[in-house]
Amino acid sequence: MTKSLITCLLALPMMAQAVTSVNVVPVESRSLPSTRSVASGPHDLPMITWGGDIATIASNGSNAVTQKSSPFGKSGLAYKLVREDVFQNQLNNYISGKTPFIRGSMSMINMAASAVKGSKNLTPVVFYQLTWSSGGDALVVKNNIKRASDLCGKTIALNYDGPHLNYAYRVLSDAGCEIKKNKFVWTQDLTGTDESPLEALRSTKVDAAFMIIPDALAATSGGNVGDGSEDSIKGANILLSTKTANRVIADVYAVRHDYYQANRKEIVNIAKGLAESQAAMSKIKRGSAEYTKLMRSSADLLLDAPDATVDAEGLLLDATMVGAAGNVSFFKEKNNFRNFEQIVKESAEGIKAFGVVKSAGKVLKADIDYGSLAGGASTSQKTRAAFDANKVAKVVEAKQKQGTLEDGTVFEFEIFFKPNQKAFDASLYQEQFKRVTQLAQTYAGAVITVEGHSDPMGYLRKKKTGEGSFVLNQVKQSAKNLSMTRAQQVRGAIVEYGSKQQVALDLSQFSVVGHGISNPKTGVCGVDPCAPKSEKEWLSNMRVVFRILQVEAEESAFTPL
C-alpha cells in the first residue's frame, strides 16, 4: 500500500507516551442491547475500511445507495452502504435489528456468535468470503525479536476487538508459544490515535505489535528498520506481514439466522452480486472511466476523501479477492486446510485464549451453490506457480553462501533420519508432513526451504588418518550431494503425501538446499565439524530442516508471480 494520505490520516505522528491498556471484557459480559426483530428495509449493509469492501461498493453501483443498474440493483436488492469500523457498534446494530448483516474477519464473527449464544435467531450465518488479507496487516517487532519463536513470553500490543486476533493466535501457536505466558497491551483503537498498537510499540516495555500496514510502514521508516526519525520507532522492523501469512485473515459477510431463513433468495443474490463484481473488477482497465469512478467512490466511502484514489488502490492491492472459485474452495472443499471449518475453529480458539470470549458460540454457513455464482465459468482452482523458481533458488543460494539463511526465518523445525536411509515414507513422518502442508497453505507467500544435512563422521575419520585435501574435499562434496538428494527425496515425499490427501502444493514454494557437513548440530570446532561425543549427537546430524522464509525483503531479486 502506498504511504500517502492513509498514513497522514491514520498514522499521524504522536508524542511518545504510555498507552493505556484496555481491560479485556469477554463479549458475553458486555452491555448489549435487547434482541429485536429485524427492522423493515432497505437495510444498512456494513463495510469496514478494507480493500475487499471495494467489491461491495462495485456491487452497489459505485454508490452508497444501490443503483438500479448495479449487480445488486438488477437482482432487486436495495441497501445503504455504511462504514463501521467499531465492531461493538456493528454488534449492537445486529442484535437490535437495525440491520441483519455483520461484516468482519472470522474472529469478529466468532465474537458475535459468543455474544448471542442461546439465540437461534441471532446465530450468524456466514454466506460470502470477500478476501484474504495479503499485505494489509503486519507484525512489527523490536530488534530483540528475530523470529516468531522469540515472541514467546514477550509483551505484544493488539487492538481490542480488532481484525488481528486470529493473525496473532496463528503466529504465536505456530511458533510454539504458550499464549498465557505472553503479556498483552490491548489498545482502544486500531489506528490514528494515541491509543493504537503503533503508539503502544513506542513503549520500552512493548516488544511487538500487530498493526495495519500504513502504521507498520510509518514505524519502520518505510518498511526498512525504524531509525527514530519522524514517526518511526528506532529498531522496529516488519517480521511478518500478511503478504507472507496470506491465508490467515479471512474477511466475510454474515447474516442473522432468522433473516437468512426468511430471505434465502436475497442472501444468494448478495453473494451472486459480489462474485459478479469481483470477476468484473479483475478485467477493468486501470485508468478507464469505470475504474476511476469506482476508485473515487471507494475513496469517498472508505476514507472520506474522494481524491484519495491512490490510497483506495493501495487498499485493493492488500487484499486477495477470492471470487466464486475461492468461495467454492472455502465453503466446500473438505481437504482445504484453510476452509470455513478450520478458520472458524482456530479463530474461536484464539479469541478464547485471549480472554475475549468465555466460550465459543455457533457459527453456521449458508447453503449456497457457489459454483453457480460464476455464471457458467469454471470454478476449479488449478495450482499455479506463485514464485519464479529460478529467482527463488538464486536468492536462497546467495543466502546459503553468505550464511544468512537465518535472516528472514519465521519458523523452523526438523525431521531426523537413520544412517543410510533412502526412503521417506509418509507413514513414518505423517505428523511432520501434515505440518508442512498446513504451513504451506497458511503462509502461501513464504518460501519453504527443505535443507538436508549430513553426518560428518566419515570426513573426520579421513582427516584423522591423514588424508590429503583432495580426498577430504571429495568427501565433503559427496556429503553435500547426499544431503541434497535427501532433501529432494523429502520434498518429493511431501508432494506425494499432499496428492494423496488431495492437497495441491505449489512446487515453486519449495526450495531445496544441501548443506552437507557445513552446519552440523554438534557445532563447529575451528574449521571442522565437532566430533559427536555420543550416539545421540551422531544421529542428531542426520536431519532435514524445514525453514519458513519470509521473502518480502527480497522483492528486488524476485517477485511472486
- Cα 75 to chain centroid distance, Å, stands at 34
Residue type, 143: N
**Res. 507: pLDDT tops 90:** no
Mean pLDDT for the stretch of residues 220-236: 93
**Res. 35: pLDDT tops 90:** yes
Q: Write the DSSP symbol of residue 190.
A: S
**Res. 185: pLDDT tops 90:** yes
The residue that leads in pLDDT, 527 or 560, is 527
Q: What is the pLDDT of residues 105-117, one digit of tens each?
A: 999 999 999 999 9
The span from the CA of 388 to the CA of 13, in Å, is: 39
Question: Which pLDDT value is given to residue 555?
Answer: 53
User: Can you read off the three cell numbers belonging to residue 23?
Assistant: 481491560
> Which residues face 138 on adjacent strands?
211, 241
User: Can you read off the three cell numbers belonging to residue 225?
Assistant: 528498520
The span from the CA of 224 to the CA of 228, in Å, is: 12
> Which residues face 172 on adjacent strands?
none
Stated pTM of the model: 0.88
Question: Which pLDDT value is given to residue 425?
Answer: 81
Question: Which pLDDT value is given to residue 13?
Answer: 42
Mean pLDDT for the stretch of residues 535-542: 90
Cα-based distances in Å from 247 to 83, 134, 297, 337, 436? 24, 8, 28, 10, 15
Q: Write the DSSP symbol of residue 510.
A: E
The span from the CA of 538 to the CA of 94, in Å, is: 62
Q: What is the pLDDT of residues 45-64, one digit of tens each?
A: 999 999 999 999 999 999 99
Question: Which pLDDT value is given to residue 281?
Answer: 95
pLDDT band at 383 (very low <50, low <70, confident <90, very high): low
> Which residues face 213 on adjacent strands?
none
Q: Write the DSSP symbol of residue 410.
A: E
**Res. 554: pLDDT tops 80:** no
Mean of per-residue pLDDT scores for the chain: 90
**Res. 542: pLDDT tops 50:** yes
In which residue are the cell numbers 490427501 written? 501
- For 417, half-sphere exposure in the C-beta direction (CA atoms, 13 angstrom radius) is 22
Cis peptide preceding 214, ω within 30 of 0:
no
pLDDT band at 421 (very low <50, low <70, confident <90, very high): confident
253 within 8 A of 266, measured Cβ to Cβ: no
**Res. 381: pLDDT tops 80:** no
In which residue are the cell numbers 490515535 written? 193
User: Can you read off the three cell numbers belonging to residue 191?
Assistant: 489506528
pLDDT band at 8 (very low <50, low <70, confident <90, very high): very low
**What are the backbone angles phi and psi of residue 214, rounded to the nearest 5°?**
-60, -40
Residues counted in the chain: 561
Question: Which pLDDT value is given to residue 41?
Answer: 86
Question: Which pLDDT value is given to residue 1?
Answer: 42
In which residue are the cell numbers 497453505 written? 441
Following CA atoms 23, 24, 30, 35 in sequence, which dihedral angle do they give, to the nearest 10 degrees? 150
Kind of pairing between the strands at 124-133 and 250-256: antiparallel
**Res. 324: pLDDT tops 50:** yes
Q: What is the pLDDT of residues 91-150, one digit of tens each?
A: 999 999 999 999 999 999 999 999 999 999 999 999 999 999 999 999 999 999 999 999
The span from the CA of 64 to the CA of 82, in Å, is: 7
Measure the CA angle with vertex 538, ends 534 and 540; round to 5°. Answer: 115
Question: Which pLDDT value is given to residue 222?
Answer: 92
- For 112, half-sphere exposure in the C-beta direction (CA atoms, 13 angstrom radius) is 38
Helix axis angle for 106-115 and 87-96, nearest 10°, is 50
Question: Which pLDDT value is given to residue 230?
Answer: 86
Question: Which pLDDT value is given to residue 16?
Answer: 47
